[in-house]
Each structure stands twice: as C-alpha cells, then as structure tokens.
Structure 1
Amino acid sequence: MQADYENVEVEGKAYLLRPDIPKEGKIRRLKPGETEGGELSDPLKSYADEAGLIMRRSTLTPYTTYALAATEFAKEQGAFDPFHRAMYKAYWEDLKNIGDFEVIRSITQECGLDWHLLEDRLKSSYYEQEIMNQFQEGVGIGVRGIPGFVIGNVMFTGARPYGIFKAVMDKVISGEDLSNIAQ
C-alpha cells in the first residue's frame, strides 16, 4: 500500500483474538477440510489464496501476548515491517509456536534487534498495558477478528485481495462517500 500511495501510514496494532490461551498454547482440533500442517478450511483458504498468501494450519493455538509485545518492541526500533513479516512466516508458513521465547529470539535476531533487552521486557510484562489499550481500542471500533483493517471510515477483517484495499483507498482519496461499502 505504501508503495502505491504517497503519505500513507500503515500502523500495526495488537489484538488478542484468543486471550484465554495459556502460555504453553492450546491444542486445537482441525476443522472439516483442514489437514495438519496443510490446507485451511474455507473461507480462510479462499481469502488466503485470493490474497496470494501462504497459510498452513498448525494444531497448536499459540499464546500470542509475547509475540504482540515483541512486535511493539520492533515498532519502537523502526523494524515493524520486517519483524511482522518474519513473525507471519514463522506462524503461517513454518508452523512455529510464536509464543515460544526461542522462536521470538530467532526472529528478533534475524531482524537485527536486541534480544536481551526484549527478553527483559517480555519477562517484566513491559508492554502489557499498551497491548491491552490497543486491544480495547480495536474492540471499541468493532474489530472482532484478525487481521483487521481501517481505511478512512471503513473497517473490515480477514485476509483480502490487494485490489480491495486499493479500491477502498482510491475512494478515500477521491472523497467518495464510503458509508455504503459492504464490509
């Protein structure tokens, strides 16, 4: 999006999709149409395919608070994009447990960030309040799933083809009324 539009700011925010997950993660049962380490079920499979994303299903639902905190750390260091992409790849492509400190350490170092400082912050819950504030902000504007997006006054969730983002952005830039856009 930033490559196609000048002065567009993309800001990642934390959202706790499953705040009930314990620190060790939780085994999840496969849904009809899913295979371990393979196919997703629809509609997620269709969304991913249309968006050109590689997404495979793990049998572990990870505890994501540490990954969200690490993402806040990466934002502070000006490394949100590479960190976010590496975390996405670890979870969806490589089926890694992104709640595990070793996985986070590896991604942190891969992105050239200070693991020892981040580790101290993770252990002290340094980012906990910021994560909760962002989560509550999302809930307050109607976010109920991830990924969630807000462009202008249009909010939508789920992996979507790039053309959807471009169409909404073009309407925002042209000043069109967006109140009738189906979300």
Structure 2
Amino acid sequence: MIIQVWSDYVCPFCYIGKKQLEQALETSGYAEQIEVQYKSFLLDPSTPVDTEESIYGPLAAKYNMSIEQTKAMTQNVAERAKEVGLHYDFDRMKTANTIKAHRLAKWAEEQGKGAEMNERLLQAHFLEGLAIGRMDVLITLAEEVGLNGEAAKEMLTSDEYKEEMYSDIEIARQLGVRGVPFFVIDNKYGISGAQPQHLFEETVAKAAEEAGLQRKLNMVGEQGALCEDGVCDIE
C-alpha cells in the first residue's frame, strides 16, 4: 500500500502532519507493509534565494499583522507542534526558497536516502533555524545523511530533478490540492492538513484492511521458554 504526501519544507503543519502520519503507521500494525512517498509542493516559489531574513517580516506582510501579532500567531503553532514532540524555534527560522531543497530530496530518493533527507530538511528549518534555501547548507545536510557532497553540489548547480518536482505540483493541481500537507492514502482517501490524530489512525487502518494487509501481531508478556532451531530452553 502506498501513501503519498504533498508538502513543502517551510510549511509548519507539514512537519506536524508528517509526525502524525508516522504515529498512525506505528500504531496501525501495518507500517512495514506501507510505503510513504513524499511529493513536492511550492508555497511561494518567488521567495528570494540565499536569503537569511527572519520569517516574521514576510509573515506580518502576508497576513497584514504587526510583528507582535505575528509572533503570537506562531506561538500558537509552536504549541500545536509540541503535541507531536516537535519544538519549533520561530525566532531562529529563516525564509527560504525551497526549489533546491525539493530537487535535493528527489535526488536523495534515488540514492536510497529520500526519507532521511526529507526529515533532515524539516528538522534543519523548524528546529535549527538553518537557511535551507542556501546551496552550502543543502550540501552539508546531504553529507549528514550519508550522501556525497560533491555529487550533491553538481546536481544542484544543474537543472536536474526540476521536471520531477513540477510533475508533483501538476498532479497536486489535478487532484485539487490547494494547500499542504495533503495525504493520499492508497489512491482512495485524502486528508487535507494536520487533522486530529484519530483521523489518521482510523483512515490508515481502514485502507490497510481494505487492501487485505496482514496486521502485525501485538506481542503480550515477556518471551517464555521455547524451542527453536532444534534447541529447547530446558534450564
């Protein structure tokens, strides 16, 4: 079974939603039989590249708020993030053009490091305040998940993976996706946004049962005496 997730690396609810999905998979008993595919989405491709600007100014302008009102708004989001074990640091966060980040994630996926790269990019932006629009930062993050830095730099200085990134965005448009995170579960169910946890758990379980997946056993008690490989515990 496949779950597709459209998200952007500067979307605070995308990281929250990711953790909710991971928790739902863990509790479902089907996690090992479900593949999660992360798809690209650009909230604001016009954001300047290599900027080190705080997120407060652009957010205040976007929502026509004062800086103080903007900080209060982000504090509410930070409290929501704590519910899934994330400790956002909005004071350190920087605006970022995420086109290169998405391309890097696409490349990392082909190297077998897609999940690790996706998580590292979100962590870098929301928890560490790193400027994930900058090439030098992206190269360092790639190296941290075990990828070759020179190869990452060569890819980022080209136009590789732009087509794949924009293909994801076009599919989202066709699905009617207007915002992220957006989850498509087994091509049957859609979840828009970071919804209540029980909705993720119920939908994952329902889709898995309909797909005929075998639920992982919930083991009870400690391991007792047994025989295996022709040897029995007799002490």
Q: TM-score range by the shorter chain?
A: 0.7 to 0.9
Q: Which has the larger displacement, 48-57 or 120-129? A: 48-57
**Identity of matched residues, %:** 26
Return the alpha-carbon distance in structure 1 between the equivalents of residues 161 and 110 of structure 2.
Answer: 11
Q: Which residue of 2 aligns with 1:18?
A: 44
In structure 2, relative to structure 1, the CA distance for the partners of 1:48 and 1:79 (3 Å cut) is same
Is the contact made by 2:93 and 2:128 (CA closer than 8 Å) also made in structure 1? no
| CA–CA separation in structure 2 for the residues paired with 1:71 and 1:170 | 28
**Residue 146 of structure 2: SS of its match in structure 1?**
coil
User: Which residue of structure 1 aligns with residue 86 of structure 2?
Assistant: 53
Equivalent position SS for 1:13? strand
- Closer, same or farther: CA 162–76 of 1 in aligned 2, 3 Å: farther
- Unaligned residue ranges in structure 1 (runs of 5+): 176-183
Identify the residue that residue 214 of structure 2 maps to in structure 1. Answer: none
For the pair 1:156 / 2:186, whether they are aligned, the reply is: no
> Displacement of 1:163 after TM fit?
3.6
Alignment of 1:1-183 (within 5 A): 1=22, 3=26, 4-5=29-30, 6-25=32-51, 28-30=58-60, 32-34=69-71, 40-42=74-76, 44-45=77-78, 47-57=80-90, 58=92, 60-152=94-186, 153-160=188-195, 162-175=197-210
Q: Is the 8 A contact 2:93 2:125 kept in 1?
A: no
* Alpha-carbon distance, 1:147 to partner: 2.3
Deviations 1:80-106 (A, max 9, x none): 121111111100001111011121111
Q: What residue is the counterpart of 1:180 in the other structure?
A: none
Q: Distance in 2 between matches of 1:114 and 1:133?
A: 26
| TM-score, normalised with respect to structure 1 | 0.81
User: Structure 1 counterpart of 2:81, which letter?
Assistant: A
SS of the equivalent of 2:37 reads: coil
**1:123–1:56 Cα change, 3 Å:** same
TM (norm. structure 2) is 0.64
CA-CA distance at 1:116 after TM superposition: 1.2
Matched AA of 2:71: E
- Please list the CA deviations of residues 25-68 of structure 1 after superposition, one character each: whole Å capped at 9, or x if unmatched: 46524452526xxx7254x4454233332223256320100100
Higher relative contact order (CA 8 A, sep 6+): 2
Match of 1:156, SS state, is: strand
SS of alignment partner, residue 28 of structure 1: helix
Deviation at 1:161, TM superposition (A): 5.4
The CA deviation at 1:154 is 2.6
Q: Is the 8 A contact 1:47 1:160 kept in 2?
A: no
- Judge which range, 97-106 or 23-32, deviates more: 23-32
Larger of the two Rg values belongs to structure: 2
CA distance in structure 2 between the aligned counterparts of 1:115 and 1:171, rounded to whole angstroms: 42
Which runs of 5 or more structure 2 residues have no equivalent in the other structure? Answer: 1-21, 211-235
Q: Which moved more, 1:142-151 or 1:111-120?
A: 142-151
What is the alpha-carbon distance in structure 2 between the residues aligned to residue 98 and residue 122 of structure 1? 13
